[in-house]
Every structure is written in structure tokens, then in C-alpha cells.
């Protein structure tokens, strides 16, 4: 190899951090000028272009190689943005020039997991069909990435079906399934119960794998979502005996603090908290939120000050959790003090979630005028959710005048397009009519209902469900 190509190789391979765009363009030009056809060099260049958000240049590298190369295609799919990855995969799938391998499907399912949208879910399902057709489902890495994709797109049923059909599973596979369960934002108690039942297979040894620290963090999260202290305490005991010393693992320790706090056992939460050798911002947030949600706001605020004194700065999530806790137990003065301290002492500027917590806090306490003035004084444009929160409080406290004002504001925010979400649109009309009904102003109720009919907005039928919760104590313990 001549001196210049050798220099190019060294420049590309010695990339502990991304190079500048100018430097990458020079290397790209030298590769073309010297007619180098080394897939590893081109793959490294693609990787670096994507690292500096130049996916179009990465595509040119692939194109300049001059022939179809699966290794480079896989690199492009892996490194570029998820939407671009899907477009690249679809293009080469339609051409049929290349036969994809297991790595191709691992990378494309990873892209589908990162994209996480309804359209991506359908595309991923189509790719799943191709995987079945080409017989690569025996690859444990493909199946595990598929579980991750389905779980990230909120299709836990399909993720569990892939999991159940696997003949061999690794620790990564089990953790992908547990993580999928504990990251869902809907039907959390149902998924937590299913995951704890699944965890029994790990405990009994029938699965042939041992739980890792990641497994235990997920299991603790699921125990806290159920709020069943017995199960959480059993998990704690199992961790002490077989996994690690919780005080030495900041993530497991944080999970224990969160679990005990949410299960109402603040004494145990504080005991674990103070015994931990290392605490991160999530640890402090979990403990202070636990104190606040159980009415011990003074201690929560003192802990917040201790957090700052320890060198860890509270973040946006910290204040969201604390304000939500104050709202949950109706701590108005403490919430106002916390909101003021957030900006003036810690330099955390409020976002929509913080404003929403404050409006809900004031509204629940009956301070409707203050809540309205708070919204009008916001530094950002209030969204419909904040106004709906205030409208709900107006109905609860029977303030028809304020409710009428807020309800009309909400109707002015209604989208005019016919393809808008009709469920959300009907919600605002129904809320306003309910405010009128509370005050026996049936004439106005009739006017609102007629306006819904004129605009073709149907009210979504209501439903309710009753679920019996038993103590989910795992028999294996």
C-alpha cells in the first residue's frame, strides 16, 4: 500500500471522536481520487458522516463504491436516521439486487424501534413477514431486536408472541421483554402483573438464565407500579442474596427507593436512600417525590436543598415529579414555593408540564381566579390541555362564569379541518355543556348540543371497568 492510502486508512481508523465535515470531505475525495475500493474504509466514512448528521454524504459514499455491497448497505442502515434507514431498506428490497442477511434485519428492526410511530409499526410488521419468509427467525439477535421494536411501538402483545415462540433466549432477550413491559404508559398494572408472573420462570430456573442488574431494575419498577409492598420486599431480599449489594449499585438502589416510596413504606425508602454509596439525580428525585406524595412536603423541600448542596442539580423531571406530588395531595403553598424556587434558586425554567401541574394544583384547591391569571401570565403559549384542566376544576367547584369563559376559549382552539380528531373535539363541547348542566342552565346545554350536531361531532360513548387486584406475591419466593 502506498503512503497516501496508508495515511487515509490511519485517518479513518483513528477516530475516537468524529472529525470535522471538512476533514471528512477531504478523506472522501482522496478515496475517490485514488480509486480505493476497501469496504471497511468506506464503512468507517459512512459511520463518521452519519455522526455529524450528513446522511446525504453517507449515501454518496455508498454510491461511489460502484457496486452493490451488503456490508456497506448494512452500515448505512445502522448509522443513518431511522426514516432514512427505512427508505434505504425499501429501495434495495424493491430492486432485489442483494440478499439480506441477519445483520440487515437486526439493524432495520433497530431503526424501526427508534422511529416509534404508527406508520413504522406497520412497516416493521411487513419486515417481520419477510423475516419469516426468508427463514432467519432462528437468529436470537434478530428476534430480540424484534421484541425491542414491538415494545417501543406499544405493541406488547406482538413482542410477547415473538418472545414465546423463541426456542433459545439470552439474558438480553429477557431484559428486552421486561423493559418492554415496564416502559408502557397504558395498562401499566396489567403489564406489571404479567411481567412479575413471567419473572417466576427466571426464579425457578426453567429459562436457563440468571437475572442481571438490568432485570432487577425492571422488576422493581413493575413492583412499584403495582404498589404491592410484599412483592417489592421479596424482590429486595432476592437482590441481596443473589445479585448484588443494593448500596453499591446506584440504579438498583434508586429502584428500591422508588418502589418503597410508591408502596407507602417511607421508612424503608429512607433507609435504602441514606445507605447508598452513590446517588444520582434520579435517586434524589425518587426520594423527594415519595416524601411529597405522602404529605411530607417540608421534608421533601429540605431534601431538595440537600440535593443541591451535594453537588447534584435538580432537573426538569425532578420538578415535574415534585409538583405532581404536591398536586396529588393538595399542597398549594408548598407547590407555589417550589415553583418559585425552581426558577430563582436552581435556574430551571418551567416547561408546559410544570405549568400544567400548577394550574391543576390551583384548580383542585378552588383557586380558579388565580389559576386563570397564572395561565394568562405564562411565558409560553398555553395549550388546550391546560385549559381543559381549568375547565374541569370549574365544573367541580361549580363556577359557571369562569367555566363558560374557559369553555369558549377552548372552542376557539378547535381545529377546523374535517380530518381532526373528533374524540378530542367532542370532549370540549361535552365539558362545556356539563358546566352549564351543573348550574341547571339547560338552554345553554341544548345550544351546545345543537352546535355539535351542526358540525357533525358525535360524543364518544363512555365505559367503565372493574378490576380485582390480588396480592401479587410470587410463590417462588
**By mean pLDDT, which of 52-61, 124-133, 163-172, 454-463 is the weakest?**
454-463
230/467: higher pLDDT:
230
Phi/psi for 72 (5° steps) reads -70, -40
Nearest to 57 by CA among 32, 34, 92: 32
**Residue 355 pLDDT greater than 90, yes or no:** yes
pLDDT grade, residue 458 (50/70/90)?
A: low
What average pLDDT does range 329-341 have in this prediction?
Answer: 89
pLDDT at 2: 52
pLDDT given for residue 422 in this prediction: 46
For residue range 235-270, list pLDDT tens digits in order.
Answer: 899 888 887 787 888 999 999 999 999 998 999 999
Answer whether residue 12 shows pLDDT above 90.
no
pTM of the model: 0.75
Q: In the prediction, which pLDDT does 10 show? A: 52
pLDDT at 18: 53
pLDDT at residue 7 greater than cutoff 70: no
Judge whether residue 354 has pLDDT over 70.
Answer: yes
DSSP SS3 for 31:
helix
- The pLDDT tens digits for 92-125 are 888 887 889 899 999 999 999 988 777 788 998 9
Coil/strand/helix, residue 279: coil
Report whether 147 contacts 177 (CB < 8 A): yes
Percent of the chain with pLDDT over 70: 84
CB 83 within 8 A of CB 115: yes
pLDDT per position as a tens digit, 221-238: 988 888 888 888 988 998
Binning pLDDT at 50, 70 and 90, where does residue 423 land? very low
Contacts of 399 (CB under 8 A, 6+ apart): 368
Return the pLDDT at 269. Answer: 94
Q: Average pLDDT in the 399-424 region?
A: 67
What is the overall mean pLDDT for the chain? Answer: 82
Q: Residue 120's pLDDT is what?
A: 83
Residues 6+ apart with CB under 8 A from 361: 323, 326, 327, 330, 331, 332, 335
pLDDT tens per residue across span 269-307: 999 999 999 999 999 999 988 988 888 888 888 888 888
Q: What is the predicted pLDDT for the residue at 203?
A: 82
Least confident stretch, 294-308, 327-341, 430-444: 430-444
Burial state string for 48-75 with b = 16 or more CB within 10 A and e = fewer than 16? bbbeeebbebbbbbbeebeeebbebbbb
Give the residue-averaged pLDDT of 194-217.
Answer: 84
How far is residue 406's CA from residue 395's CA, in Å, rounded to a whole number? Answer: 11
Q: Element (H or E) spanning 336, and its range?
A: helix 332-344
Region 198-215: mean pLDDT is 82
Question: Which residue did the predictor score with more confidence, 365 or 120?
Answer: 365
pLDDT of residue 125: 92
Burial of residue 264, with CB atoms counted within 10 A of its CB: 0-12 exposed, 13-18 middle, 19 or more buried: middle
Residue 141 has pLDDT above 80, yes or no: yes
Q: What is the pLDDT of residue 252?
A: 92
Q: Is 471 in a helix, a strand, or coil? A: coil
pLDDT of residue 362: 94
Q: Above pLDDT 90, what percent of the chain?
A: 26
What pLDDT does 472 receive? 46
Which pLDDT value is given to residue 163?
A: 94
In the chain, where the domains are located: 169-278
Q: What pLDDT is recorded for position 428?
A: 67
Q: What is the pLDDT of residue 414?
A: 62
- Of 125-139, 219-233, 242-256, 349-363, where does the model show the most confidence? 349-363
The reported pLDDT for the residue numbered 302 is 86
Q: What integer pLDDT is reported at residue 459 of this predicted model? A: 62
User: 256: closest CA among 226, 232, 280?
Assistant: 232
Amino acid at each position: 500500500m502506498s503512503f497516501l492510502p496508508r495515511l487515509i486508512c490511519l485517518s479513518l481508523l483513528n477516530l475516537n471522536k468524529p472529525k470535522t465535515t471538512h476533514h471528512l470531505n477531504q478523506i472522501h475525495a482522496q478515496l475517490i481520487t485514488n480509486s480505493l475500493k476497501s469496504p471497511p474504509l468506506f464503512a468507517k466514512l459512512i459511520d463518521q458522516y452519519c455522526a455529524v448528521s450528513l446522511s446525504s454524504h453517507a449515501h454518496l459514499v455508498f454510491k461511489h463504491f460502484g457496486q452493490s455491497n451488503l456490508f456497506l448497505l448494512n452500515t448505512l442502515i445502522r448509522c443513518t436516521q431511522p426514516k432514512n434507514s427505512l427508505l434505504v431498506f425499501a429501495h434495495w428490497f424493491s430492486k432485489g439486487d442483494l440478499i439480506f442477511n441477519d445483520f440487515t434485519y437486526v439493524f432495520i428492526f433497530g431503526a424501526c424501534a427508534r422511529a416509534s410511530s404508527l406508520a413504522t409499526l406497520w412497516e416493521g410488521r411487513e419486515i417481520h413477514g419477510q423475516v419469516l419468509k426468508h427463514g432467519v427467525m432462528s437468529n436470537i439477535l434478530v428476534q430480540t431486536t424484534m421484541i425491542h421494536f414491538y415494545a417501543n411501538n406499544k405493541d406488547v402483545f406482538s413482542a410477547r408472541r415473538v418472545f414465546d415462540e423463541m426456542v433459545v433466549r439470552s439474558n438480553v432477550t429477557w431484559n428486552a421483554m421486561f423493559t418492554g413491559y415496564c416502559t408502557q404508559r397504558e395498562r401499566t398494572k396489567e403489564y406489571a402483573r404479567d411481567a412479575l408472573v413471567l419473572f417466576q420462570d427466571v426464579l425457578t430456573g426453567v429459562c436457563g438464565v440468571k437475572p442481571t442488574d438490568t432485570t432487577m431494575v425492571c422488576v422493581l419498577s413493575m413492583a412499584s407500579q403495582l404498589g404491592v409492598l410484599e412483592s417489592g420486599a421479596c424482590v429486595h431480599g432476592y437482590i441481596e442474596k443473589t445479585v448484588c449489594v443494593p448500596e453499591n449499585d446506584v440504579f438498583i438502589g434508586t429502584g428500591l427507593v422508588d418502589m418503597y416510596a410508591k408502596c407507602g413504606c417511607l421508612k424503608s425508602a429512607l433507609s435504602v436512600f441514606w445507605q447508598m454509596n452513590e446517588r444520582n439525580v434520579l435517586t434524589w428525585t425518587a426520594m423527594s417525590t415519595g416524601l411529597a406524595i405522602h404529605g411530607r412536603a417540608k421534608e421533601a423541600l429540605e431534601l431538595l436543598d440537600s440535593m443541591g448542596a451535594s453537588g447534584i442539580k435538580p432537573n426538569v423531571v425532578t420538578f415535574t415529579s415534585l409538583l405532581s406530588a404536591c398536586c396529588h395531595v393538595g399542597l398549594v403553598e408548598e407547590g407555589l414555593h417550589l415553583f418559585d424556587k425552581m426558577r430563582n434558586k436552581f435556574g430551571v425554567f418551567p416547561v408546559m408540564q410544570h405549568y400544567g401541574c400548577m394550574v391543576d394544583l390551583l384548580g383542585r384547591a378552588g383557586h380558579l381566579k388565580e389559576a386563570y391569571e397564572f395561565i394568562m401570565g405564562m411565558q409560553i403559549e398555553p395549550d388546550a390541555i391546560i385549559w381543559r384542566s381549568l375547565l374541569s376544576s370549574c365544573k367541580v367547584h361549580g363556577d359557571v362564569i369562569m367555566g363558560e369563559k374557559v369553555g369558549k376559549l377552548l372552542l376557539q382552539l378547535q381545529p377546523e379541518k374535517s380530518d381532526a380528531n373528533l374524540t378530542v373535539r367532542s370532549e370540549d363541547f361535552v365539558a362545556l355543556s356539563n358546566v352549564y348542566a351543573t348550574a341547571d342552565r339547560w338552554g345553554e346545554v341544548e345550544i351546545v348540543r345543537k352546535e355539535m350536531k351542526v358540525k357533525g361531532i358525535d360524543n364518544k360513548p363512555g365505559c367503565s371497568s372493574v378490576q380485582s387486584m390480588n396480592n401479587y406475591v410470587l410463590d417462588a419466593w
